[in-house]
Structure 1
């Protein structure tokens, strides 16, 4: 497989990777796209096809959510006690801006403690 077809495969995979608009500048899909472009431009992937294929397989597994499907979670929340939706809200750019403006510590802000 040549580098052009590998690049097309990566681009098709990245099209399926969701972008999170509430995390612009900090989104993992955005960052992965940048890294893939850099790797192809720097010949990192073109010089080592085995490494390129390994990286593609790893990204595909993440994109397909294969690990979450293989290792089912017993509880619908994280170690913080927050659900996925609550974590998503907390990590949005708007929430982080709010937390930066407040003088209290993170834990106090999260649990409304003075």
Structure 2
């Protein structure tokens, strides 16, 4: 499966990318909103793992952009466990929501359930 990973934290991004690739997924890692939107226009993905708060904007902007033309699974990730964030993400069309830090086995299971 081809996954777009959107995560601005270098250490977490590397760990997630390595884990996804070990699971056999082709993973494109982007660190910001603008480059992630560009990636969705240039490439086809089967799933997006999306950080909610990015240095150049809100991840939900990308989610709204994707939902205009696709229903591919999008799992939103954030370090901030606020009910308002969860509700807004789900209203925008998120498939799932994970609060960081999370166990990589949990992520693997959420990915399996989302597809």
- Give yes or no for TM over 0.5: no
Q: Which structure features the higher share of helix residues?
A: 1
Q: Which structure features the higher share of strand residues?
A: 2
